[in-house]
Amino acid sequence: MTDLLKQKAIKRYIQNDAYAKYLGATVEIVKPGHCRVYLTITEDMTNFHGTTHGGIIFSIGDIAFGAASNSHGQTAVALDVNICFLKASKPGDRLIAEAKEQHLGGKTALYEISVKDEKSGALIAKSQNLVYRKREKFIAADEMEKRQ
Amino acid sequence: MTDLLKQKAIKRYIQNDAYAKYLGATVEIVKPGHCRVYLTITEDMTNFHGTTHGGIIFSIGDIAFGAASNSHGQTAVALDVNICFLKASKPGDRLIAEAKEQHLGGKTALYEISVKDEKSGALIAKSQNLVYRKREKFIAADEMEKRQ
Amino acid sequence: MTDLLKQKAIKRYIQNDAYAKYLGATVEIVKPGHCRVYLTITEDMTNFHGTTHGGIIFSIGDIAFGAASNSHGQTAVALDVNICFLKASKPGDRLIAEAKEQHLGGKTALYEISVKDEKSGALIAKSQNLVYRKREKFIAADEMEKRQ
Amino acid sequence: MTDLLKQKAIKRYIQNDAYAKYLGATVEIVKPGHCRVYLTITEDMTNFHGTTHGGIIFSIGDIAFGAASNSHGQTAVALDVNICFLKASKPGDRLIAEAKEQHLGGKTALYEISVKDEKSGALIAKSQNLVYRKREKFIAADEMEKRQ
């Protein structure tokens, strides 16, 4: 498989995220290790105080994290995430989560994620996310399956 | 307002969580500072590897955390959450998140959350969650509004 | 090696912690996966505000964590620690850190650590600590060396 | 007090950190919100595996964090720190911790800290650190005391 074909196969695999679709989030792979996710907050995504639910803010970041950490084609699973909530947001706001690789080791890798308000650029949350890198490369298997 | 009426008002307020309803989660207030959340995982709640999405596992815990930290009737907002993912789960599994207060200070409070598989009891994730306690008591205001 | 001999060898290895000795901390192995560390705070252990330094509070917990996570005789290395600081302490206070195993998996294990004031029992800090468990068993090697 | 005098007073206050002196660390204030700390690892700073103790790696970062978060002259106290350990180091290595402000709010502020090996530039650890900002400005008081 050429590198371009491999990148396309990885992109197809990563963008097939059921939960991202359920929320209505858009996933963009900038390059291996660097992804962005976009989501417009709806009334369904609020808590009892009427602001965006912490679970949603985490989820946008987590979708970007999952995409970035798996974008090398090797299966990565989340070990630990630490998130700081800095500013409230509300329905109608469009949020952008950006995940950037900080360290890519043999068995672990570290990502930094920021969640911002698209319009104002205000920082909503920031997280530090660690994965365990399995030996499996999901793309080879996926490709073989696809060709059958 | 009697203590019983206050507890009922707090319960009504906390159970009115749009995102919890959207996911189909059930919120139970065991007592002030101690809550449980139940959710059955669906296909919509999976990632591209086919397992339960990290955003969903965090969300169940976050709903329990929000309920527990606001169950005194005083507005509490999340400052920081650290979550360790210990075991994968899948569609059909019913998960239980349990939030327990570890420390209740004047300005901050700390909660410990476990997310378990209901059937096997296996620990899926564990988190440590910190809130900032605002001066506002949301119940007094809520009650006054309700009586008008 | 009998189980008792193995436990003694592990204890000897774990209590040979240069930094714990440098600080003057006492390390107690309650049982595999459960350790306690005691330290009396001195003037050298304060920050510029005159209270116990965050680095010292973390260190007591980290010594207990290292002891607990290695107390099975298998090499464990820290991956991630999240610590919440809840109350200040000062020179003269005697602090106790207690590490308890929450999850022992094949490749990772999770510990919960509390740091308390011995006299008042007040909670000073609480942390959640994750290790990666290497395949090496440090005790076999250590024992062989000792017998030569 | 002029701005220059204020900066000098803040620097004097921050560099008077007993624990930093005890370890032999050097504290540099690059500018408000941005600090560096240097420390050469000694045998006293190792764990029972012979590598640099996690408590020491955290401490270098924590000294930089305390300096950066208090460098505005307003008292800041640590709420939560999350640290990922990425690479081992050993006696003789000289480590640099660098703390940079990510968010400065009314009541909280967030810092990102990296700990690197000076020679190779390798990333040893990375942390995300949150403070609560008190209303007190420690410098005014400090200055008044000094002039009496």
CATH number at residue B113: 3.10.129.10
Shortest Cα–Cα distance, A80 to chain C (Å): 7
- Backbone φ and ψ for A91, nearest 5 degrees, come out as -55, 140
Residues 3-62 of D with CB under 8 A from A: none
pLDDT 10s digits, B95-132: 999 999 999 999 999 999 999 999 999 999 999 999 99
- Predicted-complex ipTM score: 0.93
Q: Report residue A2 as tokens.
A: 């050429």
With an 8 Å Cβ cutoff, is D75 touching chain B?
no
Long-range contacts formed by D120-124: CB under 8 A, 24+ apart: D122/D87, D123/A102, D123/A103, D123/D86, D123/D87, D124/D52, D124/D57, D124/D85, D124/D86, D124/D87, D124/D88, D124/D89, D124/D95
**8 Å CB contact of D132 and B108:** yes
Crossing angle between the packed helical segments D3-15 and D54-70, to the nearest 10 degrees: 160
Q: How far, in Å, CA of D104 to CA of D130, rounded?
A: 10
Contact list, D122 vs chain A (CB under 8 Å):
none
**Confidence band, pLDDT 50/70/90 cuts, at residue C85:** very high
pTM of the model: 0.94
**8 Å CB contact of B86 and C80:** no
Give me the DSSP letters along A114-147. EEEETTT--EEEEEEEEEEEEEEEHHHHHHHHHH
H/E element holding C22?
A: helix C18-23
With an 8 Å Cβ cutoff, is C130 touching chain B?
yes
Mean model confidence pLDDT for chain B: 93
- What letters, b where the CB count within 10 A reaches 16 and e where it falls short, cover B127-144? bbbbbbbeeeebbeebbe
pLDDT 10s digits, A60-83: 999 999 999 999 999 999 999 999
Q: Is C42's pLDDT higher than 70? A: yes
Shortest Cα–Cα distance, C119 to chain D (Å): 23
Shortest Cα–Cα distance, D83 to chain B (Å): 11
Collect all residues with Cβ–Cβ distance below 8 Å to C88 and sequence separation of at least 6.
C51, C52, C124, D77
Shortest Cα–Cα distance, C85 to chain A (Å): 15
Give the total number of structural domains in chain B.
Answer: 1
Q: How far, in Å, CA of A60 to CA of B113, rounded?
A: 21
**8 Å CB contact of B84 and A79:** yes
Residue A41: left (phi > 0), alpha (psi -120 to 50), or beta?
A: beta
Q: Report residue C72 as tokens.
A: 């099975």
Q: Minimal CA–CA distance to B65: which of B76, B53, B52, B51?
A: B76
pLDDT 10s digits, A25-50: 999 999 999 999 999 999 999 999 99
pLDDT recorded at residue B3: 85
Please, are residues C31 and C11 in contact by the beta-carbon 8 Å criterion? Answer: no
Q: How far, in Å, CA of D111 to CA of B139, rounded?
A: 35
Tell me whether residue A87 is exposed, middle or buried, using C-beta atoms within 10 angstroms of its C-beta: 0 to 12, 13 to 18, 19 or more. middle
- Of A84, A110, A123, which has the smallest distance from its Cβ to D126's Cβ? A110
Write down which chains contact chain B via at least 3 CB pairs under 8 A.
A, C, D
With an 8 Å Cβ cutoff, is B136 touching chain C?
no
Please, are residues D127 and D57 in contact by the beta-carbon 8 Å criterion? Answer: no
Q: How far, in Å, CA of B115 to CA of B64, rounded?
A: 10
With an 8 Å Cβ cutoff, is B122 touching chain C?
no
- Backbone φ and ψ for B21, nearest 5 degrees, come out as -65, -40
With an 8 Å Cβ cutoff, is B135 touching chain D?
no
- β-strand partners of C109: C104, C131
Q: Is A138's pLDDT higher than 90? A: no
Query: Between these two residues, D48 and B140, which has the higher pLDDT value?
Result: D48
Q: Report residue B68 as tokens.
A: 């527990």
**8 Å CB contact of B128 and C128:** yes
**Confidence band, pLDDT 50/70/90 cuts, at residue B148:** very low
With an 8 Å Cβ cutoff, is B82 touching chain D?
yes
- Which three-class secondary structure state does DSSP give residue D72? coil
Contact list, B105 vs chain C (CB under 8 Å):
86-87
**8 Å CB contact of C102 and B82:** no
Write down which chains contact chain D via at least 3 CB pairs under 8 A.
A, B, C
**8 Å CB contact of B78 and A85:** yes
Crossing angle between the packed helical segments A54-70 and B54-70, to the nearest 10 degrees: 160
Write down which chains contact chain A via at least 3 CB pairs under 8 A.
B, C, D
What is the separation of C-alpha D136 from the centre of its chain, rounded to a whole number of angstroms?
20
Q: Which of D11, D27, D44, D48 to mutate to test the interface with C (most CBs of C within 10 A)?
A: D48
Q: Minimal CA–CA distance to A107: which of A81, A135, A72?
A: A135
Q: Is B141's pLDDT higher than 70? A: no
Query: Between these two residues, A144 and A97, which has the higher pLDDT value?
Result: A97
Q: Is B10's pLDDT higher than 90? A: yes
Write down which chains contact chain C via at least 3 CB pairs under 8 A.
A, B, D
Collect all residues with Cβ–Cβ distance below 8 Å to C141 and sequence separation of at least 6.
none
- CA-nearest residue to B126 within chain A is A80
- Which three-class secondary structure state does DSSP give residue B32? coil
Contact list, D83 vs chain C (CB under 8 Å):
80-82
Q: How far, in Å, CA of A108 to CA of A127, rounded?
A: 17
Q: Which of A23, A49, A134 to mutate to test the interface with B (most CBs of B within 10 A)?
A: A49
Distances (CA, A) of B134 to A3, B145, C15, C37: 53, 20, 45, 35
Query: How many CB contacts within 8 angstroms connect chain C with chain D?
Result: 126
Contact list, C108 vs chain B (CB under 8 Å):
86
Query: Between these two residues, B68 and B138, which has the higher pLDDT value?
Result: B68
Residue A59 burial (CB count, 10 A) = 29
Tokens 């296996």: give the residue. Answer: B122
Residue B13 domain boundaries:
3-147
Give me the DSSP letters along D33-61. TEEEEEEE--GGGB-TTSSBPHHHHHHHH
Q: How far, in Å, CA of B132 to CA of B78, rounded?
A: 6
Q: How far, in Å, CA of C112 to CA of C103, rounded?
A: 10
Collect all residues with Cβ–Cβ distance below 8 Å to B86 and sequence separation of at least 6.
B123, B124, B125, B126, C103, C105, C108, C110
**8 Å CB contact of C54 and D82:** no
- Backbone φ and ψ for A41, nearest 5 degrees, come out as -75, 130
